[in-house]
Amino acid sequence: MASAVSSTVADALAGVERWKADEEKRHTTEMSEISGELGSLRSAITNMQQQLDALEKVRVDLGRQSEMLRARHIDQAHEAVFGALTKQAMALADRERMAIDVERSRRVDLEKSLPKTAVGPQLAEYVQFKKVVEPTLGALPDSYRQVVLSHHTQIVDQLREHVAVQLAAPVPIDAAPIALDAVYAIDAPDGKPELLVLVLPVTDRIVSDWQDVPDGLQMWLGSRAVQAIAEAARETSADCEPLSGGHQGLLAIEVDLTEAGAPYAMALERRLADRLRTGAPELAAANVAVTLRKVDVDFLMPPENDEVSDGR
């Protein structure tokens, strides 16, 4: 006897459909979850991108602020250097007037004391020649005139030598010491010196209006600097011609180092220090001390920066 069939094809297919429905439901749920996670990630990525953009903007702004800070630092340093040098130049001008008065008094005293010195007889003979003999020279025969003039020249030479000896040493000035800075910078953009800039606390009129400037401390200080430049050139056999001019009313000297190179730059630094510190007895007598001071080249010659000046 045959047994009853426990399952039909319809039942089997119904089971398959139930499985399919369950799998589709699970798949839909997983897809929904993945979509949710993707949405969250995309939202997070968007937020992170916004944060990145914001941080990048902050970094750019900070970079600009750094450039502006550097520019302001240079401007303030430039103003500080030239402000200090200008005050020093004023103090040196005052000391120069004092030195000129002292020197004028010394010359007056020397003139008064000459008759009582060893050259007193020569001075009396010189005065007699100018008052009595010189007006009659034209009446003398040429041979006599030449003898008289030759003797007179000897008298003049003796007087000049005596006066030169008396005026050789500068007169010490009893006044408070003045400390000056001779500020210089070397421009070496690629590591090789190209330009030396020296600024002295003296008026630029000793170059622009030298014929009207008295021969005094300011002229001597400028001359000592030029002397050091020439000595350094001879020491290193360099062909360097300094250019002098004014900057903010002060004397500025530029020396092209392109051809001379580092040896000349080192020699020039040493010569400047020696000449300005110990090689200027006229400054020492006036109780003026000069220190050679090196600064960043931008402090003397600030670079052009339109963006900073525009406030961008």
16 within domain boundaries: no
Residue 190 lies in a domain: no
Residues of the chain with pLDDT > 90, as a percent, come to: 27
Residue 278 has pLDDT above 80, yes or no: no
Gap between the Cα atoms of 25 and 266, Å rounded:
88
pLDDT of residue 103: 82
Helix axes 9-113, 217-236, angle to 10 degrees: 110
Q: What is the mean pLDDT of residues 150-155?
A: 89
Q: Could you report the per-residue pLDDT of 161-189, keeping only the tens digit for each?
A: 888 777 777 788 889 999 999 999 989 88
Give the total number of structural domains in the chain. 1
Residues 170, 172, 178, 183, Cα dihedral to 10°? 20
CB atoms within 10 A of CB 140: 14
In one letter, which amino acid is 285? A
Buried b or exposed e, range 217-248, using 16+ CB within 10 angstroms: bbbbbbebbebbbebbbeebebebebebeeee
Q: For residue range 189-232, what is the model confidence (pLDDT) as tens digits? A: 888 888 889 999 999 998 888 888 888 899 999 999 999 988 98
In the sheet that holds 178-187, the strands lie side by side as 243-247, 250-256, 195-203, 178-187, 288-294
Between CA 200 and CA 308 the distance in angstroms is 29
Q: What 8-state DSSP symbol labels residue 190?
A: T
Is residue 178 assigned to a domain?
A: no
**Residue 155 included in any domain:** yes
Alpha-carbon distance 54 to 110, whole Å? 82
Q: What is the chain's mean pLDDT, rounded?
A: 85
Question: Which residues, other chains included, contact 244 with Cβ-Cβ below 8 Å and sequence gap of 6+?
Answer: 207, 222, 226, 251, 252, 253, 254
Cα–Cα distance, 162 to 165 (Å, whole number): 5
Q: What is the pLDDT of residues 288-308, one digit of tens each?
A: 999 999 999 999 988 765 444
Whether the model pTM is above 0.75: no
User: How distant, in Å, are the alpha carbons of 77, 221, 223, 281 from that of 99?
Assistant: 32, 14, 17, 13
Helices (H), 213-260: 217-236
Residue 129 lies in a domain: yes
Task: Give the pLDDT of residue 312.
Answer: 37
Task: Please indicate, yes or no, if residue 163 is contained in any of the structural domains.
Answer: yes
Q: For the chain, where are the alpha helices, taking DSSP H only?
A: 9-113, 120-128, 142-168, 205-208, 217-236, 261-277, 281-285, 297-300, 306-310
> How many residues appear in the chain?
312
Stated as kind and residue range, the H or E segment containing 251 is: strand 250-256
* Distant-in-sequence, close-in-space partners of 245: CB < 8 Å, separation ≥ 6: 204, 207, 251, 252, 254
Q: Domain span at residue 161?
A: 117-168
